[in-house]
Amino acid sequence: MKTRHIAFAALASLFLLAQPAAAAASGQDARVIERGKYLAKVGGCNDCHTPGYPESDGNTPTQHWLTGSPVGFQGPWGTTYPVNLRLYVQNMSESQWLARVRKPMSPPMPWFNMRDMTDSDLIAMYRFIRALGPAGEPAPRAAAPGEKVATPYIEFAPKNLPMRTTQAQP
């Protein structure tokens, strides 16, 4: 009987000792998620990936963020749609996210900005998006150049400008 009480007391002590560590870890996670929210906001993710965000002057409630958009961007590449990030990341690990966001993406996605971000910032964004949970519907599929689309779209191509190539700076 005494052995049982001693074992219980030892387990209870371990539980109580572990609580501050768990609280610290959850506090750290909360800070990482808050950083991800900040980065998504100032990085302009909502401008394309959250319906109505620009029209609301950025006053769209957080629970509606990053659900993709049925409004496409049409240019010489065809018509592309902002992906529903909340669905996109659900079956993706952090390492898969890091690898994906550093690869070229369809215009007008400024993937090169994400390519140059730190791992910790990209992980913070990933954790924030995951913390929002799945919501919304998948974005429409991209359309090839010249293919007609039934959705609204923004024409996203310069007119009457000479094309220039990017050259390395000395």
pLDDT at 1: 52
* pLDDT digits 0-9 by tens, 25-71: 467 899 999 999 999 999 999 999 999 999 999 999 999 999 999 99
Percent of the chain with pLDDT over 90: 75
Residue-range domain boundaries for the chain: 42-51+63-155
State the pTM of this model: 0.77
Burial of 83 (0-12, 13-18, 19+ CB in 10 A): buried
Tokens of 169: 């700076």
pLDDT at 20: 41
Whole-number Cα distances in Å, 47 to 38, 50, 55, 69, 140: 14, 6, 9, 10, 17
Amino acid residing at 115:
R
* pLDDT digits 0-9 by tens, 78-122: 999 999 999 999 999 999 999 999 999 999 999 999 999 999 999
Average pLDDT of the chain is 86
Beta strands in the chain (DSSP E): 72-75, 78-80, 153-155
Q: H or E segment at 4?
A: helix 2-42
Do 81 and 139 meet the contact criterion of CB atoms below 8 Å apart?
yes
Tell which wins on pLDDT, 106 or 165.
106
